[in-house]
């Protein structure tokens, strides 16, 4: 575990909009130099959290600290952050080359040579208006800005969804290679959980505004298994274990259970004619999300 002070510290964070609680009592901290996945379904509160991390929104309760300071209107903090969003907008008439030329004004560690290399990798047309770029080209522009910023905290809010599969894997490979040479804190918000699972060192999962999971990715891998077979045999095997999900079809059942199975467990499953299968990272997150309880009512959110 990194013994340094957290680069991101969130305590009791809540945010409500009229009668909707977007976030509820969220608390976590991230140490410097890690790749963290921010996961959850649409409407889980991910974008709200990222907007507050980058000083674009205000808490209804609780606090956000980056490098120990409030990011709101704090130029010292904000110049160390790069927030790349799929919804990023630029002035009319702005071309891709204008975005890259202006980047050094916002990012002290901007690497123009790296940006030029990425322009070639992603085949980005520099002299085309941003609003006339295809969705994939706009995504490529966001990825280039995020990577070449070399910001101490780089947050990607799904800007790479417009990329095709080849371009996305180019992004993942480039991100890992550059991170290995220049470690920093990277927060990836994505629905493509299995695609990024091997990149992640830590996982935050939001569901209905609550923090459902705050755990190292390594501890999550292999932390659940699917047991399939005759329903009665499956029920006997999983008795007393934490059940994450259950499917039945006729007299057959498949049950996802939490926890790592021992060699003795595998022998017992074989003896009972049961099949044991690993659970993908994405399926584990889905199972955890679908079994979570509803968020509290907005009326109980305390406003400052």
Domain boundary among 172, 193, 216: 216
pLDDT tens for each residue of 289-298: 776 544 444 3
Q: Are residues 254 and 169 in the same domain?
A: no
Rounded Cα distance, 167 and 178, in Å: 16
In a domain, 297, yes or no: no
Rounded Cα distance, 168 and 83, in Å: 18
Q: Are residues 257 and 201 in the same domain?
A: no
Q: Are residues 53 and 88 in the same domain?
A: yes
Q: Are residues 188 and 251 in the same domain?
A: no
**Is residue 26 over pLDDT 60?**
yes
Q: Are residues 129 and 249 in the same domain?
A: no
In a domain, 258, yes or no: yes
**Total structural domains in the chain?**
2
CATH number at residue 265: 3.30.70
In a domain, 251, yes or no: yes
- pTM, rounded to two decimals: 0.85
Q: Are residues 33 and 84 in the same domain?
A: yes
In a domain, 202, yes or no: yes
Do the Cβ atoms of 61 and 26 come closer than 8 Å?
Answer: no
**Is residue 76 over pLDDT 80?**
yes
| Rounded mean pLDDT, 267-294 | 83
Question: What is the rounded end-to-end Cα distance, in angstroms, of the chain?
Answer: 34
pLDDT tens for each residue of 239-248: 999 999 999 9
Q: Are residues 240 and 172 in the same domain?
A: no
What is residue 292's predicted lDDT score, i.e. its pLDDT? 53
Structural domain harbouring 204: 8-216
Measured in residues, the chain has a length of: 304
- Residue percentage of the chain with pLDDT more than 70: 94
In a domain, 249, yes or no: yes
Q: Are residues 173 and 191 in the same domain?
A: yes
Domain boundary among 200, 216, 232: 216
The pLDDT mean for the chain works out to 89
Q: Are residues 190 and 54 in the same domain?
A: yes
Do the Cβ atoms of 13 and 25 come closer than 8 Å?
Answer: yes
In a domain, 233, yes or no: yes
DSSP 47-110: HHHHHHHTTSS--SEEEEEETTB--TT-HHHHTTEEEEETT----TT-BHHHHHHHGGGT-TT-
Domain boundary among 163, 181, 216: 216
In a domain, 1, yes or no: no
In a domain, 294, yes or no: no
81 secondary structure, DSSP code = E
What is residue 291's predicted lDDT score, i.e. its pLDDT? 64
Q: Are residues 22 and 62 in the same domain?
A: yes
Q: Are residues 164 and 251 in the same domain?
A: no
Q: Are residues 49 and 172 in the same domain?
A: yes
What is residue 4's predicted lDDT score, i.e. its pLDDT? 72
């Amino acid at each position: 575990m990194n013994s340094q002070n957290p680069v991101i510290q969130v305590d009791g964070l809540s945010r409500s909009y009229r009668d909707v609680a977007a976030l509820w009592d969220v608390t976590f901290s991230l140490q410097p130099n890690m790749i963290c996945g921010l996961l959850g379904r649409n409407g889980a509160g991910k974008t709200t959290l990222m907007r507050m991390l980058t000083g674009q929104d205000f808490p209804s309760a609780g606090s956000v600290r980056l490098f120990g300071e409030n990011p709101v209107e704090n130029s010292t903090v904000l110049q160390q952050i790069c927030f790349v969003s799929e919804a990023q907008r630029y002035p009319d008439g702005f071309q891709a080359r204008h975005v890259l030329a202006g980047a050094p004004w916002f990012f002290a560690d901007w690497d123009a040579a790296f940006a030029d290399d990425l322009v070639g990798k992603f085949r980005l047309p520099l002299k085309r208006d941003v609003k006339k770029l295809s969705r994939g080209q706009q995504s490529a522009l966001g990825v280039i800005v995020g990577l070449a910023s070399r910001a101490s905290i780089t947050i990607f809010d799904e800007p790479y969804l417009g990329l095709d599969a080849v371009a996305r894997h180019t992004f993942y490979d480039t991100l890992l290679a550059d991170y290995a040479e220049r470690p920093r804190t990277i927060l990836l918000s994505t629905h493509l959980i299995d695609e990024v699972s091997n990149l992640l060192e830590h996982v935050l999962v939001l569901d209905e505004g609550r923090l459902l999971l705050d755990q190292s990715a390594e501890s999550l891998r292999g932390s659940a298994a699917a047991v399939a077979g005759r329903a009665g045999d499956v029920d006997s095997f999983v008795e007393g274990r934490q059940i994450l999900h259950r499917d039945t079809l006729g007299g057959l059942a498949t049950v996802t259970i939490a926890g790592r199975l021992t060699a003795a467990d595998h022998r017992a499953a074989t003896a009972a004619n049961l099949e044991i299968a690993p659970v993908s990272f994405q399926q584990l997150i889905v199972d955890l999300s679908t079994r979570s309880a509803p968020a509290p009512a907005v009326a109980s959110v305390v406003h400052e």
